[in-house]
Chains A and B, each alone.
Chain A
Amino acid sequence: MSAAVLAADAFVPLFGVYQCVAPLVSRRTLRFGVRVPLEYAEAPVICRERRGYVWRSALIAVCAITVLIALADAGDGSWRWPSRVVLVAEVVADAGCFWWAHRRISQVKSAEGWYAGRRQTVVADTSWRTEPPAFPVGWLLPAVTVIVSTVIVGVLRYPHLPALPSQGWGRVDRSPLTAFGVVVGQVYVTAVWSGLLALVYRSRPDLDTADPVASLRGYRKALGTFARAALVLLACIDLTLLLAALQRWQLVHLSGAAELLVVAPAALGLAACLFAAVHAGASRAGFTVGMVASDRDDDRFWKAGLVYVNRDDPAVFVCARFSFAWTVNFGNPTAWLLVAGFLAPPTSLVIIRLATGA
């Protein structure tokens, strides 16, 4: 097994650990995507499903790693299929476990009428808009520096490139597009990632009805920490692309364990970002104190506790129901346009490559 394959396989245990832990670090009034009153936060069904989820997701992670080891020699070259297939299967299986726990808790909540006769409120703190948090623009500097460095190295190297630079899919004529494709990738990832973060800064904060002031303070702090971790991840991805470009431009030749260097920055950045998300999610769990009124029971807008569809809500981005993450409101046409715009460039690239056979 080469070092590059090993690095690709590392995402399976990484996501295994994340998905095992992430659904457990949510607000106390959100359990597996189900909104619950505070006094039911530790209801027997919730404790039982939480234990069950940990065992099931841990078992899935162990099975995924075992299958990966068993298929160590399958796949070849750049198309290392077992890690991709196993990763997808792992994510789907964990989503199934989440849905199972969600359904069981929803059934008990509905049967026992946990929200019957309760005052349900929604709260907004206008200071979020009148004194908005500042986007940490300075933390974009490492990513921009890496892109500029890539461009400078590429421009200096371009005249000396062989006529047919090698590619993963074969050999093509030298042209600015083929030579600087990596830079296009860096710019795309940086623009999309930082743009999404900027939109998150303008989206609705996740406030706790019981103590909105403290929860907003905590949300601001958690958002700042997460945004910095996300921008570091961005710089790490750009660095991985730069290292890939150096290989492609035949400036460095990495082989054996040294191949790990290419993927290592992105893998480490991703691990740090996931850790920051879980940590921020865990920090929100402590905000709910004494309840005067309950959060609004809005489970009807959440499909399986994961997908938000509310046509009456003008929000495009909303906080997800576990860890520290966001999702789009699929009831808003703008969200569909955003998802389409996000997926269009990579999808077009794949279609063009398949059509031209390049």
Chain B
Amino acid sequence: MLLSIEPDGPVPIYLQIRDRIIEAIASFEAPVGSGLPSTRQLAVDLGINFHTVNKAYDLLRQEGLLRIGRKAGAVVQRDATSGPPSPGFEEDWASRLRTVLAEAAAQGLSAEQIVERCQDIVVGFLPVTSDGSAVGEAS
């Protein structure tokens, strides 16, 4: 899994790490059961304070995506194959999505453009079959 962050960017680093890991889980780059580097190792590789990585991992643990054990370290706890989300997640997510979509609409993107872009992103998360098409993609 590649983790790319902008240390001097406007988004806090721990949120950038959390976002990249969620994207990797969604695209099956980090499927359920796969291990992540320890907080110290990832901090060394990114050249940042290990408390920052710890904060990102803790956030992912609270969201139910990571399991952090003393021996096994950080392990991906759930992905798209793990069944429906926990109760209350969808409402919370929908409210955040509303803001993101409103941003696009306010900036002048048409409804078709917004839907098309959303569809492209969701298809990008699906695992790719041997012929190069995404699993479950409408032909």
Q: Which of A127, A128, A213, A313 contacts B47 (CB 8 A)?
A: A313
Task: Kindly state the separation between the CA atoms of A192 and B111 in the bound complex, as whole angstroms.
Answer: 65
B120 within 8 A of A: no
Q: Contact check, B48 vs A121: say whether CB atoms are below 8 A apart.
A: no
Chain B residues touching A, range? 20 to 34
Q: Contact check, A124 vs B8: say whether CB atoms are below 8 A apart.
A: no
Min CB distance, B45 to chain A, in Å?
4
Q: Which of B6, B7, B35, B47 contacts A204 (CB 8 A)?
A: B47
Q: Which of A123, A203, A315 contacts B4 (CB 8 A)?
A: A123
Task: Kindly state the separation between the CA atoms of A124 and B36 in the bound complex, as whole angstroms.
Answer: 12
Q: Contact check, A123 vs B6: say whether CB atoms are below 8 A apart.
A: no
Q: Contact check, A125 vs B6: say whether CB atoms are below 8 A apart.
A: no
Give the residues in chain A near B42, CB-CB below 8 Å.
124, 126, 129
A352 within 8 A of B: no
A220 within 8 A of B: no
Task: Kindly state the separation between the CA atoms of A328 and B9 in the bound complex, as whole angstroms.
Answer: 27
Task: Kindly state the separation between the CA atoms of A140 and B40 in the bound complex, as whole angstroms.
Answer: 29
A107 within 8 A of B: no
Task: Kindly state the separation between the CA atoms of A203 and B48 in the bound complex, as whole angstroms.
Answer: 14
Q: Across the two chains, which residue of chain A brings its CB closest to B17?
A: A124
Task: Kindly state the separation between the CA atoms of A309 and B53 in the bound complex, as whole angstroms.
Answer: 21
Min CB distance, B95 to chain A, in Å?
29
Task: Kindly state the separation between the CA atoms of A128 and B3 in the bound complex, as whole angstroms.
Answer: 12
Task: Kindly state the separation between the CA atoms of A123 and B17 in the bound complex, as whole angstroms.
Answer: 11
Task: Kindly state the separation between the CA atoms of A293 and B7 in the bound complex, as whole angstroms.
Answer: 13
Task: Kindly state the separation between the CA atoms of A298 and B48 in the bound complex, as whole angstroms.
Answer: 13
B50 within 8 A of A: yes
Contact with B along A298-326 (1 / 0, CB 8 A): 10000000000010111100000000000
B138 within 8 A of A: no
Give the residues in chain B near A108, CB-CB below 8 Å.
none
Give the residues in chain B near A296, CB-CB below 8 Å.
7-8
Min CB distance, A203 to chain B, in Å?
7
Task: Kindly state the separation between the CA atoms of A121 and B20 in the bound complex, as whole angstroms.
Answer: 13
Q: Contact check, A315 vs B47: say whether CB atoms are below 8 A apart.
A: yes
Segment 1-57 of B: residues with Cβ below 8 Å from A: 1-9, 34-38, 40-50
Task: Kindly state the separation between the CA atoms of A310 and B44 in the bound complex, as whole angstroms.
Answer: 12
Task: Kindly state the separation between the CA atoms of A314 and B43 in the bound complex, as whole angstroms.
Answer: 7
Q: Contact check, A122 vs B44: say whether CB atoms are below 8 A apart.
A: no
Q: Which of B2, B36, B40, B50 contacts A125 (CB 8 A)?
A: B2
With A296-B8, A314-B40 in contact, is A126–B47 under 8 Å at CB? Answer: no
A119 within 8 A of B: yes
A130 within 8 A of B: yes
Give the residues in chain A near B36, CB-CB below 8 Å.
126, 130
Give the residues in chain A near B5, CB-CB below 8 Å.
121-123
Give the residues in chain A near B43, CB-CB below 8 Å.
314
Q: Contact check, B47 vs A129: say whether CB atoms are below 8 A apart.
A: no
Task: Kindly state the separation between the CA atoms of A313 and B50 in the bound complex, as whole angstroms.
Answer: 9
With A123-B2, A127-B1 in contact, is A314–B35 under 8 Å at CB? Answer: no
Q: Contact check, A315 vs B44: say whether CB atoms are below 8 A apart.
A: yes
Q: Contact check, B48 vs A128: say whether CB atoms are below 8 A apart.
A: no
Q: Across the two chains, which residue of chain B brings its CB closest to A126?
A: B1
Q: Which of A204, A209, A312 contacts B49 (CB 8 A)?
A: A312
Q: Contact check, B2 vs A119: say whether CB atoms are below 8 A apart.
A: no
Segment 197-241 of A: residues with Cβ below 8 Å from B: 203-205, 209, 212-213
Min CB distance, B85 to chain A, in Å?
25
Contact with A along B85-120 (1 / 0, CB 8 A): 000000000000000000000000000000000000
Min CB distance, B14 to chain A, in Å?
14
Q: Contact check, A122 vs B2: say whether CB atoms are below 8 A apart.
A: no
Give the residues in chain A near B37, CB-CB below 8 Å.
126, 128-130
Task: Kindly state the separation between the CA atoms of A212 and B20 in the bound complex, as whole angstroms.
Answer: 15
Q: Across the two chains, which residue of chain B brings its CB closest to A315?
A: B44
A-B residue pairs in contact (CB < 8 Å), sample of 16: A120-B7, A120-B8, A121-B4, A122-B5, A124-B42, A126-B2, A126-B37, A128-B45, A130-B34, A130-B35, A204-B44, A212-B2, A212-B4, A213-B2, A312-B49, A313-B47
* Top 6 A-B pairs, shortest CB-CB distance: A129-B37, A124-B45, A313-B47, A123-B4, A126-B1, A315-B44
Known: A122-B6, A124-B3, A213-B2. 16 other contacts (CB 8 A): A120-B7, A121-B6, A122-B7, A122-B46, A122-B47, A123-B3, A124-B45, A125-B3, A126-B37, A126-B42, A128-B45, A129-B45, A204-B44, A293-B6, A314-B40, A314-B50
